[in-house]
Amino acid sequence: MARGDPAEQALLRLESRRFSTRCETQIALIQRADTLRELARLATIPLPFRLTEDFASRDAQRHVAQAAEDRARELIHEQIDRCLRAEPERREIMKGKLAEDWANLTGVLGHLRAWAKGKLASAQQLR
């Protein structure tokens, strides 16, 4: 089938809509996620090869990554707040667990590791 074939174009539109719907479902799951490991897993949604040139599909994929990043930032802020409110003896243990948890930030969320460490350091200095 040629690229200009109406049947081919209809199939591509159908596949694009199906992918966009899958991305919307993924975003709903991301908003309910409560761990960074789960977020990293949900943030990765592969784009089918046939849709690599489809702007709507790439945009839907970008929205998934953005929703995952926003939710990860929320979870990291909550973790830092809990760590800073903890007793001084418990705080060091919590820092180690935070570092372990932040190691789960991989793929499209990998850049948040350094951001989270910087946020923790600045929050400790303000305290």
For residue 4, what pLDDT band results from cuts at 50, 70 and 90?
confident
Residue with tokens 């960074």: 36
Domain ranges of the chain: 6-126
pLDDT in tens, 68-115: 999 999 999 999 999 999 898 898 899 999 999 999 899 999 999 999
pLDDT at 1 over 70: no
Q: What are φ and ψ of residue 10, in 5° steps?
A: -65, -40
Determine the Cα–Cα distance for residues 103 and 49; give it in Å rounded to an integer.
30
Summarize pLDDT for 29-68 with one digit per residue, the tens. Answer: 999 999 999 999 999 999 999 999 999 999 999 999 999 9
The two three-digit tokens of residue 59, written as one number: 């945009």
Cβ neighbour number for residue 44 with a 10 Å cutoff: 15
Q: Answer whether 116's CB lies under 8 Å from 102's CB.
A: yes
Check residue 54 and report its DSSP letter. Answer: -
Reading the block at residue 97, the tokens are: 């667990």
